[in-house]
Structures are given as structure tokens and as C-alpha cells.
């Protein structure tokens, strides 16, 4: 009996030890993370002290400072002109608060503006810059890349398409389209975008008529056909009309472009009336892409509910920021709709967008600007020691926060005259 009990005790103890053995290493990763975290910068005591901003061309750059010598950077585009005092108002709401409660701070500012225009426009574009800077700051404080704060990543690198910046105001020819397409392909891109709207097309009926003439429609088709012939059938091509035509034209050009197998036709009519987009999308096999002029997830609800679009393209430097961009992507995912963000910001905005693109399942492609390769300003205004783009992909930064810093010294050369610059 004694022997049986001893044996049973030995077996039980051995079994327990065997069961607990894997737990001996459980939590070691967490312990290492704690050891890695700077004890000089305790997130629990982190507080926002001030918010400063600067303006360069069409972008607002925001920097949020704290009591622990770390900061966050963000960018807003388009609807940001003349918004210095709006930045200061938002800064007053943030001062003294922990930057780690990003969603809560976003809601504090948004709800404070219900009667100040917090549904769209300048209010949300500026809030996008603030919210992005909060994610950058939170990531630096916790020593994690932003995509990790968003729940982790589905992919290590993000596919981008090259916007050729072959602006129609310069009256490009079919040869220009073919050359630009080949140039982008030779740079390693497997997706390219062109603009089709041309205000000074000599074949327009008049300056204010939104209906394209037969000659305009032929010009659009010929330009894209030349690009398709130049790069072949395996390169994605998309076309932007900037919402400058009417429904008659949208129906006509979408049908005419069907043989070219576009990745999408972008905003052929203004963005406000999504019911018209439903009619256009239903009439063609050319995918219709909309979203750069929508704000917040609310702006995408109706178009997704009625099936008005094939692809959504929110601008994350304008629609509400990175968290809102993820909410839009997740909403679109419920309707099996791809997410392809618009992006006309600096490389700071491009990498910030890339973190969101990595963190959602239904990501299709992100916009990339050809001016990154030609205009030295875009290299001057940011600091990043890695490769920007390789073979049509951005590798998502593993550095804490966004991974790209503003270079204030470089930015100052391009600051808008008469506007405060990080004061």
C-alpha cells in the first residue's frame, strides 16, 4: 500500500512536472518586452504637452510633444488650407492627456465638433493628421510599429501603383501615355494610373459642360489603349476622371474601356450622389472605384450597402486617420469589397498608410506618386534610412511608430510663406 501510494505520488508529481514544463518559458517574450522598454519613459506617466504644425504645399504636418522627450508625427492633405487655429484648438483638447488612448482622444475631438463641421472637410482632414501623430507617438512609447497596435499584419510588404502624374493640362499624346507606362514598368511597378480629365481639351463643348464630346471619348480611349499596348496584358492600369463628368459620359467611357481590362475607373462623376454610382457600376464590367472625397466610415456606408462601387479608396490623410481607415476597410470587407487607399502625401503619409494596408485582409493596392522619384523636396522633408520602394512594393517598417520622421530643417525650405512653422 505504501509502495502503491509512493508510486502514485511519483507518477502524479512527474505528470504535473511534465505538464508544467512548457509553462516554464511562458511569458518570457513579455518579460523581454518589459526589459526592452525604457524605464526612463514610463508609458503610464506619458502626457501630451503641446501640438505644433507646419504647412508645405498641399499638406499639413503635425508634431505632438510629450513630457518624456518623445513625439509623434502626422500628415493631413487637401482640406487643410488655413487650418492653423483648428490645429491649436485640437491641441488644447489633447494637452495633459495620455497619447496612448488614441481612439478615445479621436472621439473626444470628433464629438467636440458636432456643430463645428466634424462630419467632413477641414475638421476631419486636420483630425486625420492629429490621429496619425497619436499612433506614431503610441508606437514609440510602447516600442511597437503601428501595424502591431492595429492588431498585427497580414503582409510584410504593400503593393503600390505608380500615378504617372501625366497631367492632362499638358495635353499628353498617345505616345506620351505609352512612354510613361513603359517607364513605370521598367522601374518595377506592375500597376499604373493615368488621368483622363482634360479641362483644356480643344474638343470640349465648353468650359462648364460636363458631357464629353465624341472626340474627347475617343481621345481617352486612344490614350489608355496606347498604354495597354505598350505594357501588355499583365500590368494593371487604372484611370482617374476626378469627378469632372456627368453620368452620360461615365456610362459611355466605362463601356468603351471594357476591352482594355482596367483595374478600375476612378470617380467619373462627383462623389456626392452614390445612387448614380450604382447605376454606372451596374452598367459596365469596368470596375468603379470611389472614395478619396469621402470622410469617416459613415461616408462609405451607403455606397457599400447598395453596391454602388467595386473598390473603395479612402485617403487616410484626409478621411479620419489610420484607425478610421482600418474601420473603413473592415466595413468594406463585410461586402467583399477591396480596399485601395488614395495617397497624395509625403513618404510619411505613404508609410503611415502602409501600416493600415498591412493590417487589413482586403487590401488591394496603395497609391504611389511618381514625384517621389523626381522632386527633391520629398527626400528633403523626411528622414528614413531604408529603401522607399522596391519592384512596386513598400516594405512595412518594423521601427516603433510609423518609422518615418519629419526633417524640420529640410521642411523649412518649403514652408508656405506667411504661415506659422512649428511655433
The pLDDT tens digits of the residues spanning 233-253 come to: 999 999 999 999 999 999 999
The pLDDT tens digits of the residues spanning 304-349 come to: 999 999 999 999 999 999 999 999 999 999 999 999 999 999 999 9
Distance (Å, rounded) from C-alpha 136 to C-alpha 186? 34
The pLDDT tens digits of the residues spanning 337-350 come to: 999 999 999 999 99
As a residue count, the chain comes to 423
pLDDT score of 166: 86
Distance (Å, rounded) from C-alpha 349 to C-alpha 354? 8
What is the reported pTM? Answer: 0.89
In the chain, residues under CATH classification 3.30.390.10 are 43-144
Fold of 43-144: Enolase-like; domain 1 (3.30.390)
The stretch 98-105 carries a mean pLDDT of 96
pLDDT at 66 over 50: yes
- The percent of residues in the chain predicted with pLDDT above 90, rounded, is 84
Distance (Å, rounded) from C-alpha 23 to C-alpha 16? 11
Q: What is the DSSP string of 306-362?
A: TT--SEE--BTTTSS-HHHHHHHHHHHHHTT--B--B--S-HHHHHHHHHHHHT-TT
Burial of 422 (0-12, 13-18, 19+ CB in 10 A): middle
In the chain, residues under CATH classification 3.20.20.120 are 149-399
The CATH number of the domain covering residues in 149-399: 3.20.20.120
Amino acid at each position: 500500500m505504501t509502495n502503491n501510494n509512493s508510486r502514485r505520488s511519483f507518477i502524479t508529481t512527474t505528470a504535473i512536472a511534465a505538464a508544467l514544463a512548457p509553462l516554464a518559458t511562458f511569458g518570457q517574450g513579455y518579460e523581454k518586452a518589459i526589459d526592452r522598454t525604457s524605464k526612463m519613459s514610463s508609458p503610464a506617466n506619458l502626457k501630451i504637452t503641446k501640438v505644433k504644425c507646419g504647412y508645405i504645399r498641399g499638406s499639413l504636418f503635425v508634431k505632438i510633444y510629450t513630457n518624456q522627450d518623445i513625439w509623434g508625427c502626422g500628415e493631413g492633405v487637401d482640406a487643410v488650407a488655413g487650418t492653423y487655429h483648428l490645429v491649436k484648438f485640437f491641441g488644447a483638447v489633447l494637452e495633459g492627456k495620455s497619447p496612448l488612448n488614441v481612439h478615445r482622444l479621436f472621439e473626444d475631438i470628433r464629438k467636440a465638433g458636432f456643430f463645428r463641421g466634424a462630419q467632413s472637410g477641414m475638421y476631419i482632414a486636420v483630425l486625420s493628421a492629429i490621429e496619425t501623430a497619436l499612433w506614431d507617438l503610441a508606437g514609440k512609447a510602447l516600442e511597437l510599429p503601428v501595424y502591431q497596435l492595429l492588431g498585427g499584419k497580414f503582409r510584410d510588404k504593400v503593393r503600390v501603383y505608380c500615378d504617372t502624374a501625366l497631367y492632362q493640362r499638358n495635353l499628353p499624346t498617345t505616345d506620351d501615355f505609352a512612354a510613361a507606362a513603359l517607364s513605370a514598368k521598367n522601374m518595377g511597378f506592375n500597376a499604373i494610373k493615368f488621368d483622363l480629365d482634360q479641362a483644356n481639351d480643344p474638343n470640349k463643348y465648353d468650359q462648364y459642360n460636363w458631357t464629353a464630346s465624341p472626340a474627347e471619348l475617343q481621345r481617352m480611349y486612344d490614350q489608355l489603349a496606347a498604354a495597354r499596348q505598350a505594357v501588355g496584358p499583365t500590368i494593371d492600369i487604372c484611370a482617374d476622371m476626378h469627378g469632372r463628368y456627368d453620368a452620360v459620359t461615365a456610362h459611355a467611357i466605362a463601356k468603351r474601356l471594357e476591352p482594355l481590362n482596367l483595374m478600375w475607373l476612378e470617380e467619373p462623376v462627383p462623389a456626392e450622389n452614390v445612387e448614380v454610382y450604382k447605376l454606372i457600376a451596374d452598367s459596365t464590367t469596368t470596375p468603379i472605384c470611389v472614395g478619396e472625397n469621402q470622410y469617416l466610415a459613415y461616408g462609405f456606408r451607403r455606397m457599400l450597402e447598395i453596391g454602388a462601387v467595386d473598390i473603395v479608396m479612402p485617403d487616410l490623410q484626409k478621411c479620419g486617420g489610420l484607425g478610421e481607415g482600418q474601420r473603413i476597410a473592415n466595413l468594406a470587407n463585410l461586402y467583399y469589397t477591396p480596399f485601395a487607399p488614395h495617397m497624395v502625401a509625403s513618404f510619411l503619409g505613404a508609410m503611415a498608410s502602409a501600416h493600415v494596408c498591412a493590417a487589413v485582409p482586403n487590401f488591394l493596392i496603395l497609391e504611389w506618386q511618381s514625384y517621389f522619384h523626381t522632386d527633391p523636396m520629398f527626400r528633403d522633408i523626411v528622414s528614413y534610412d531604408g529603401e522607399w520602394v522596391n519592384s512596386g512594393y513598400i516594405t512595412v517598417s518594423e521601427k516603433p511608430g510609423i518609422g518615418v520622421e519629419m526633417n524640420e530643417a529640410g521642411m523649412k525650405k518649403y514652408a508656405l510663406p506667411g504661415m506659422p512653422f512649428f511655433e
